Amino acid sequence: MTGFPYLRIRSLGKAYRGATALHDFDLDVEQGAFVALLGPSGCGKSTLLQILSGLLEPDRGEIHLAGADITRLPPWRRNIGLVFQNYALFPHLSIRQNVRFGLDMLGIKGKEADARVDEALEMVGLDPALARRPSELSGGQQQRVAIARAIAIRPRLLLLDEPLSNLDAVLRQKVRLELRQLHDRTGITTIMVTHDQAEALATADRVAVMEAGRLLQYEAPQGLYRNPATAFIAGFIGSPAANLLPLVARDNASWILPGGELWQPDAALAPAQNGVAAGAACLMALRPETLALGSLGPGGLPVRIGAIEFTGGDQLVHVEAGEARLTLRLPAGTHVAGPAAWLFPPIQSPLLFDANTGRRLPTPH
Amino acid sequence: MNQTSDIKPHTTAMLVGPAAALMFGVFVLPFLFLLVLSFWSQVPGSLQFDTHFTVLNYARIFGDSYYLGGLWTTLWLSGLVTVICLILAMPLARWIVLRAGPAKGLLIGLSILPLVCGALLPTLGLVNLLSPLGFINGALKSLGLIQSSLPLLGNITGVAIGLVQAFLPLMILPLITTMERLPQDYEKAAMSLGARRLVVWQRIILPLLLPGIVAGSLLVFCASLTAFVTPQVLGQGKVVTFASLAYQQAALVLDWPFASALAIVMLIFLGLAGMLGALVTRKFGKAS
Amino acid sequence: MKSRFSDAMTFAVVLAILIFILAPILVLIFSAFDGGNIFRFPPRTYSLRWFEAAFNHPEYRSSLWISTLLGVIATVIAVSLASLAAFGLVRGRPRYRFAVEVLLLAPLTLPLVVWAIALLSIYAELGMNGTLTGLILAHVTITLPFAARIMIATLNEIDPRLEAAAKSLGATPAQVLRRITLPLARPGLLSSSAIAFLVSFNDVVVTTLIAGAGWITFPVRTFSRLRTEGIDPTTIAIGAMIVAFTLLLILVGQRLFQLSRRF
């Protein structure tokens, strides 16, 4: 689909009390996409959501939705659905009245309104005959009502603020899937704010990683996993978090580990192959699920085995390489012989980053 | 989502303006005028003010034993009332916070009843209770504890009782607020570390309650200092408090500059009490 | 470890203190029913004659009417101004918030008798002595702090995200006010109106000094009669009714909208 993207955010800037919340932010979202805004707290994702919904005015920049400039439009004219982290259901109204609220504002009444309320409640998996007050429902049910309320108005854009963070672990998995399925059924362009990378990777078409008010990388989940743009992203994405091993290039073929020991890896992982000059400091991202342990062999990184955590199907093996600590994820059945062993990282597509800037070092091929 | 203000500054100013302007104009400004007035004097025999600056009024207050006596009486009476209120309010507040359960709201409502009824009505009831032919004397007599009636009206005792009854709510409310904020865990933690009840009270609870105690004490002290309806009714004109003097001068003698001076003196003492309260809180209290 | 005994002791002490607080009021109410000519507790005979006398006494009727009128006017103005200001302070969160709150609550901490003297002098200078306007202004000033305190507490409890949610669903600010904010603020509005009315109705200190001869309220009339003639049963009867009314209002308020929570 060429032409203007459905949602276009350009050069958005916002500062409060001296601190910059958003810094010259750009983002394009296609119609019908499910985008996750991922980042740690304070990265500006909630601010962005508030600006998109019209509850906050940006200092600079523009927002275009379906071709129209909505930057200065007040929230009640934007037709953008908003689901809050704490649901914000109106306590003095019943469930149906809550869901019908947006329709009342649009002037839709009577049978048509009832039908839309029924439809919205059914879509979120609630019984339309539910005639209670919000305070009588469980957290999970309240959230569904909040979503139903937002989609009843058939919004052009649906914004979800940390929808899963108030749910317990079990419910989280279930609702995660349902959110995606809801999106697929309704086709509403959806933006979900979260600090949980697993959620973002599992549900979104594209993930926008943010930090300190800036967009770091905006890609499909696989792209983010395989080609993180910065060390921060590499470390952030994936569970358990990737190891970031600080290395200094000694010469073309070997690295200096923290603590001074040397490591001569496979040629594909050597400094020369990756365009790293001697003396340069780097970070190598090593994903726990891709590492192997074995006995002495070429390219192996000498490590000492520390604690082992059993997690059911897997075991997390904590090791020390010089002064650095690393974690591996191995199947529970694997026998781990200690105290010394050799760690073998994967040799395809190494993830190397400049230790100072955090930027990904290109792999010369 | 963050909380950011929903309204623009000029709308806020328009919303807040009328109330603030009213309070400033009608409440605050008169105090300033009072200050000015206290340095003027009344032209004898008329309602005009002689606007030459003079400290005559203040000299009169501090030079005449009648007024000084009134000041002294008022001060120690207020102090006494404050202490009694503190002693009575503590167990009540503690009970309401810890034990009252569902009746809590009701009890709080009842405790503030005297406050809302105004100065006069409960005082009327008290007159009856305390009079020589009243309930208390009657009950004590029929129990054989006294032969002739105890004089409970027309003296300091009656006034003190009346003031305590009137201002106890002012001590109870801040204590309840402070006690509610005090997690019970502190007590249990201290006791598990081996501290006996008394020590727990002294070292942990009292310092944490101090802000409430100071707030309540200040309120009661200030209210007692400036009370005049209760002392007039229960003292039957024989107990001279500073506020009744001020009232007399303002409403009966109509010497407003002098009344203003009396009022300013009261304010000064209130200010001193406030500063003392702040000092005590800073020195002995712990921020909660 | 608390023993049953010390529990019982504490309860007894607490009960005694409560009785101490409420006794004079109960005495007032009961003795109004006394048929005799003197103010006596406990009543020897029971009768409603003093209530009848009260209703038929023209001076009292007029002062009760004035108190009510004044109370209603002052309450409407005070609650309106306080609500607007509370909304501005809570939702607008201006820098001067603390200062304005102190200003609005000032009459609660500063002595009213002192202020009344000052106001009296200023009114005399402005020629406003004894006017209804002057009296109304004074009453609004003494009731506004109560209303402000309650409305600020009430608005603080209303989650601003509810208002934000309503806006995202298409509600204009006026609609948000009407459909969300006002219904949720209603208990606070009722509480502050009740308290403001009671405070205005029962005020002696300020009104005694400020009110002119034409606007004598019930408490002021009672106070002046008290000083000149002593206590007569009609006064007691009326006083009892007022106290009972106050008590009733507090109990009802507590039941319906948790009055005590809003302080």
What is the reported pLDDT for C163? Answer: 93
Closest CA to B77 of B153, B158, B150: B158
Tokens of C46: 């029971």
Whether C147 has a pLDDT exceeding 70, the answer reads yes
Distance set, CA A363 to CA A270, A276, A351, A353 (Å)? 11, 10, 9, 10
CB A10 within 8 A of CB A179: no
Tens of pLDDT along C71-82?
999 999 999 999
For the sheet containing A255-256, what is the strand order? A262-263, A255-256, A243-249, A281-286, A351-354
Q: Count the helix, strand and coil residues of chain B and give each as a percent rounded to the nearest 5.
A: 75, 0, 25
- Separation CA B251–CA B249 (nearest Å): 6
C169 contacts on A by Cβ (under 8 Å): 76, 81, 101-102, 105, 149-150, 153
User: What is the largest distance, in Å, between two alpha-carbon atoms of chain B?
Assistant: 74
Domains of chain C, residue spans = 56-262
Closest CA to A218 of A353, A35, A22: A35
What is the reported pLDDT for A3? Answer: 57
Closest CA to B127 of C209, C236, C246: C236
3-state secondary structure of A187: coil
Name the least confident of A53-57, A268-272, B184-188.
B184-188
CB C107 within 8 A of CB B26: no
3-state secondary structure of A88: coil
A36 beta partners: A192, A207
Tokens of B281: 């809180």
Average pLDDT for residues B43-57, to the nearest whole number?
A: 77
Q: Please classify residue C157 by burial: count the beta carbons closer than 10 Å to its beta carbon, then call 0-12 exposed, 13-18 middle and 19+ buried.
A: middle
CA C125 to centroid of chain Cα atoms: 30
Identify residues of A whose CB sits under 8 angstroms from chain C CBs: 53-55, 74-82, 84, 86, 88, 90-92, 101-102, 105-106, 149-150, 153
Name the least confident of A339-348, B247-256, C25-34, C92-101.
C25-34
Whether B16 has a pLDDT exceeding 70, the answer reads yes
Q: How many CA atoms lie within 13 A of B199 on its CB side?
A: 9
Residue A115 is inside which H or E element, if any?
Answer: helix A110-123
What is the reported pLDDT for B59? Answer: 85
Closest CA to A216 of A237, A195, A230: A230
Inter-chain touch C170–A84, beta carbons under 8 Å: no
Residue A161 is inside which H or E element, if any?
Answer: strand A157-161
Distance set, CA A264 to CA A35, A253, A270 (Å)? 41, 6, 7
What is the reported pLDDT for C37? Answer: 61
Closest CA to A248 of A217, A289, A279: A279
* A195 Cα to chain B: minimum distance (Å): 13
Q: How many CA atoms lie within 13 A of A348 on its CB side?
A: 3
Whether C262 has a pLDDT exceeding 80, the answer reads no
- Separation CA C63–CA B29 (nearest Å): 30
Inter-chain touch C180–A90, beta carbons under 8 Å: yes
Whether C39 has a pLDDT exceeding 70, the answer reads no
Q: Which is more confident, C44 or B129?
A: B129
Whether C254 has a pLDDT exceeding 60, the answer reads yes
What is the reported pLDDT for B1? Answer: 41
Percent pLDDT > 70 in chain C is 90
Assign a CATH topology to domain C56-262.
Answer: MetI-like fold (1.10.3720)
Residues ≥6 apart with Cβ < 8 Å to A199: A36, A164, A172, A176, A192
Test the A interface: residue of C169, C178, C186, C257 with most A CBs within 10 Å: C169
B56: left (phi over 0), alpha (psi -120 to 50) or beta: alpha
Q: Cis peptide leading into C111, omega within 30 of 0?
A: no
Class of domain B50-284: mainly alpha
3-state secondary structure of C154: helix
Tens of pLDDT along B90-130?
888 888 887 777 777 778 878 778 877 777 888 888 887 88
- Separation CA A113–CA A356 (nearest Å): 58
A46 contacts on B by Cβ (under 8 Å): 1-2
Q: How many CA atoms lie within 13 A of C216 on its CB side?
A: 13
State the Cα angle at B96 between B92 and B102, rounded to 5°. 150
Whether C111 has a pLDDT exceeding 90, the answer reads no
Inter-chain touch B26–C204, beta carbons under 8 Å: no
For the sheet containing A7-16, what is the strand order? A19-29, A7-16, A60-65, A68-69
Distance set, CA C258 to CA A180, B12, C198, C263 (Å)? 44, 29, 17, 10
Test the A interface: residue of B1, B2, B5, B8 with most A CBs within 10 Å: B1
What is the reported pLDDT for C78? Answer: 97
B288 pLDDT tier (thresholds 50, 70, 90): very low
State the Cα angle at C85 between C159 and C247, rounded to 5°. 80
| C contact chains, 3+ CB pairs < 8 A | A, B
Whether A164 has a pLDDT exceeding 60, the answer reads yes
Q: For every residue of A188-200, which 3-state class applies, written as one string?
A: CEEEEEECCHHHH
Tens of pLDDT along A170-189?
888 889 999 999 999 999 99
Q: Which amino acid is at B64?
A: D
B2 pLDDT tier (thresholds 50, 70, 90): very low
Q: Which amino acid is at B262?
A: L
Inter-chain touch C168–A91, beta carbons under 8 Å: no
Closest CA to C199 of C97, C78, C43, C44: C78
What is the reported pLDDT for C263? Answer: 62
* A238 Cα to chain C: minimum distance (Å): 33
Q: Which amino acid is at A6?
A: Y
What is the reported pLDDT for B74? Answer: 92
Tens of pLDDT along A95-154?
999 999 999 999 999 999 999 999 999 999 898 777 788 988 888 899 999 999 999 999
DSSP string, A283-299: EEEE-GGG-EEESS-TT
Q: Is C148 on the interface with B (CB under 8 A)?
A: yes
Q: Which is more confident, C183 or C127?
A: C183
A255 beta partners: A249, A263
Tens of pLDDT along B136-154?
787 788 887 777 777 778 8
B3 pLDDT tier (thresholds 50, 70, 90): very low
Q: Which amino acid is at C59?
A: E
B128 contacts on C by Cβ (under 8 Å): 24, 27-28, 31, 39-41
Q: For every residue of B175-233, which 3-state class applies, written as one string?
A: HHHHHHCCCCHHHHHHHHCCCCHHHHHHHHHHHHHHHHHHHHHHHHHHHHHHCCHHHHH
Average pLDDT for residues C211-218, to the nearest whole number?
A: 83
CB C155 within 8 A of CB C90: yes
- Separation CA C65–CA C86 (nearest Å): 31
Buried b (16+ CB within 10 A) or exposed e, A73-96: eebbebbbbbbbbbbbbbeebebb
Name the least confident of A220-229, B211-220, C28-37.
C28-37
Inter-chain touch B113–C22, beta carbons under 8 Å: yes
What is the reported pLDDT for B6? Answer: 63
Residue C93: other Cβ atoms inside 10 A: 14
Domains of chain B, residue spans = 50-284
Inter-chain touch C170–A76, beta carbons under 8 Å: yes
Residue A48: other Cβ atoms inside 10 A: 29
Name the CA dihedral angle for C96, C102, C104, C107, rounded to a multiple of 10 degrees: -160
Residue A8: other Cβ atoms inside 10 A: 17
Which of the 8 DSSP states describes residue A163? T
Test the C interface: residue of A16, A56, A82, A143 with most C CBs within 10 Å: A82
Pairing state of beta strands A34-38 and A206-211?
parallel
Q: Cis peptide leading into A346, omega within 30 of 0?
A: no
Inter-axis angle of helices B104-111 and B156-180, nearest 10:
150
- Separation CA A123–CA A140 (nearest Å): 15
Q: Which domains does chain A have, with CATH numbers?
A: 7-233 (3.40.50.300), 236-354 (2.40.50.140)
Buried b (16+ CB within 10 A) or exposed e, A10-38: eebbbeeeeebbbbebebbbeeebbbbbb
Q: How many CA atoms lie within 13 A of B134 on its CB side?
A: 21
Whether A12 has a pLDDT exceeding 80, the answer reads yes
Closest CA to A284 of A298, A274, A292: A274
Tokens of C119: 């106001």
Q: Which is more confident, A334 or B194?
A: A334
Q: In whole numbers, what is the pLDDT of chain A averaged over residues?
A: 90
Percent pLDDT > 70 in chain B is 94
Q: Is C16 on the interface with B (CB under 8 A)?
A: no
Q: Which amino acid is at B285?
A: G
- Separation CA A196–CA A202 (nearest Å): 10
